[in-house]
Structure 1
Amino acid sequence: MQTYWGIDLGGTKTEGVVLSAPKPEAVLIRKRIDTEAHKGYDHILNQITGLIDTLKAETGLAPERVGFSTPGTFDPARQAMKNCNTTVLNGKPMKQDLARLLNVPVEIANDANCFALAETTMGIVPDVVPGYQTVFGVIMGTGVGGGIVVRGQGRDKRPFVLNGLQGLGGEWGHNILEENGNSCYCGKRGCVEQVISGPALQHYYKKMSGEDRSMEEIIDRYQQGNDLIASQTINRLLEYFGKGISVIINILDPDAIVLGGGLSNIDLLYTEGLERARKYIFNSREINTRFLKPKLGDSAGVFGAALL
């Protein structure tokens, strides 16, 4: 029996899954453990190998290959991890180390790419845009990220992640959106992530009002219509989302954009956010790209890893 093995490596939790087919209902086993990243790189590797051993023991199966969703990027040129929120991974040859420890081939992609692959293969995209060619997956939450999935050509129509020469495919969160905006850990100012992520919007609200509010509170106060600063904050989100996503549409012209992360629950992004993008695209204000809500929830990362 062919099986699909995936590991979603997070800063706090690490999850493993074994699928009997690329379908959400084909889960043979699913396990979650603490990452314990504060104990260092070698400990993370031990946690992963221990989780794989558990999956093998409880299924009686062994993987032929394993896919990994990671909180960062594998740099093909340097053969090392980079841009990881779990900083102990940066500069480490994790792909080679995991292949050696597990004694099987390993594929690695960042969490946004895995999200995009899962939603394209077994999530919302085949339901709504079955004839797609290109899909862009967006993560908007604590951070902002993205992933590109392209349908295969010829006889093999299976979708694949477009990682890029330097592993930067889909990385829209660290392009400058607001000139001379807030400083970002990447070294630039006014990155997309520093403008329309959840923490960035909360920071803006506090700067304007002097009050700490969660995104849920800000959205609620906006909907009630009795908080001018909440209205300014949500309008800021919509305007800059439209401007930022218009660049993706102009470059990729995808069939669909799937929104994930905590901010993807804001319904206005799929209506007013699209209208704001209409102002900026190079197509006489016509947008045929479908803006879609995700279907797989927090399963997308680990399912996408298995599909690598």
Structure 2
Amino acid sequence: MIRIGVDFGGTKIEVAALSEEGEFLSRLRAPNPGAYDAAIETVRELITQTEAAIGPAASIGLGVPGSVNPATGLMRNANSTYLNGRDFAADLSAALARPVRLANDANCLALSEAVDGAASGAAVAFAIIIGTGCGGGLVVNGRLVEGANGIGGEWGHMPLPWPTAAELPGPDCWCGQRGCLETWVSGTGLRRDHASVTGHDQPGEWIIEAARRGDAGAKAALDRYIHRLGRSMAVIANIVDPDVFVLGGGLSNVAEIYEGLPGAIAAHVFCDTWSARILPARWGDSSGVRGAARLWLS
């Protein structure tokens, strides 16, 4: 049984077909055209090409930025802003002449890793994207927890917990609030924090390498980052107590984060002893499209 997943990114759209065993049968990519009707046509054409090569798919799922309002079916909170306020699922279904399922891209990461990735076999798994932005997704017993309002796992827009005086009131967030986790524990947040303290605006990759070379400002910025990420993950530990945290996004590749997080989390968990696995996504950048293909299974 072939299942198709679509990873609808800000700059590219990827369509992949998976076998019943989870093997890639086909992968196609195209630039995201940046306009609503053109994007629907790009998805339709990629799926048409895929099925022409390998045969019809049993289901189609899409991982998208933002989320769907379950009351209206309309998209919201997408950084590809032309999606917001549109019934993307219905319009895609009409273009493809079959039903599709949509889920937030971080939810797709969580589902992918829970099915056959780093969180395989876990009763409770929480997946975190720490890249340009900051997202999260929760899977319990193999099923996505999207919640009554479709915002389950949206930890990126809660405030930084246990803040110091220097962290208040926090930077402005694009969502309209201040001090959201996305402004602190994303790659963008690491860059902003380093620049605000040192006066040197450098990308995250530079900061990590400089910290490894012994640069004091970069090392302090990385330490602050790990401490803030640990505090933030401690809130999730206190609420849902995951067996496994899975990290995705560019910063998930930084080994120092995994070394520092257990202590940073444990210091803020309401528990005498605390442990959970903290792992990078097994499927890396492929987790989004793999999770999208599995949406009909959840």
The two structures have a TM-score, normalised by structure 1, of 0.91
Give how far 1:271 is off.
Answer: 2.3
Give how far 1:125 is off.
Answer: 2.1
Match of 1:47 in 2: 42
Alignment of 1:180 onto 2:169 = yes
Match of 2:104 in 1: 110
**2 CA distance for matches of 1:281 and 1:179?**
22
**1 CA distance for matches of 2:105 and 2:168?**
28
Alignment of 1:57 onto 2:48 = no
Amino acid at match of 2:252: S
Give how far 1:94 is off.
Answer: 0.7
User: Contact between 1:67 and 1:106, CA under 8 Å: does it hold in 2?
Assistant: yes
User: Contact between 1:4 and 1:22, CA under 8 Å: does it hold in 2?
Assistant: no
User: Contact between 2:137 and 2:153, CA under 8 Å: does it hold in 1?
Assistant: yes
Deviations 1:88-145 (A, max 9, x none): 000100111112221222111111111111111121222xxx3x21100000010000
Alignment of 1:148 onto 2:142 = no
Question: Which structure 2 residues correspond to residues 14-25 of structure 1 after superposition, within 5 A?
Answer: 14-23=13-22
Question: Which structure 2 residues correspond to residues 1-308 of structure 1 after superposition, within 5 A?
Answer: 2-23=1-22, 26-37=23-34, 40-59=35-54, 61-126=55-120, 130=121, 132-151=122-141, 159-177=142-160, 178-225=167-214, 227-284=215-272, 286-308=273-295
User: Contact between 2:59 and 2:293, CA under 8 Å: does it hold in 1?
Assistant: no
User: Contact between 2:75 and 2:87, CA under 8 Å: does it hold in 1?
Assistant: yes
Give how far 1:22 is off.
Answer: 4.2
- Please, which runs of 5 or more residues in structure 1 have no aligned partner? 152-158
Amino acid at match of 1:268: E
**2 CA distance for matches of 1:22 and 1:107?**
21
Identity across matched positions, percent: 39
**1 CA distance for matches of 2:7 and 2:254?**
25
Match of 2:163 in 1: none
**2 CA distance for matches of 1:264 and 1:212?**
21
- Please, which runs of 5 or more residues in structure 2 have no aligned partner? 161-166
Any idea what SS the aligned residue of 2:6 has? strand
Give how far 1:5 is off.
Answer: 1.0
Amino acid at match of 1:53: T
Any idea what SS the aligned residue of 1:218 has? helix
User: Contact between 2:9 and 2:65, CA under 8 Å: does it hold in 1?
Assistant: yes
Deviations 1:253-281 (A, max 9, x none): 11100011111112222221120111111
Misfit runs of 4+, over 3 Å = none
User: Contact between 1:15 and 1:302, CA under 8 Å: does it hold in 2?
Assistant: yes
Any idea what SS the aligned residue of 2:227 has? helix
User: Contact between 2:2 and 2:59, CA under 8 Å: does it hold in 1?
Assistant: no
**2 CA distance for matches of 1:11 and 1:221?**
29
Any idea what SS the aligned residue of 1:5 has? strand
Any idea what SS the aligned residue of 1:101 has? helix
Question: Alpha carbon RMSD of aligned pairs, Å?
Answer: 1.2
Match of 1:154 in 2: none
Amino acid at match of 2:285: D
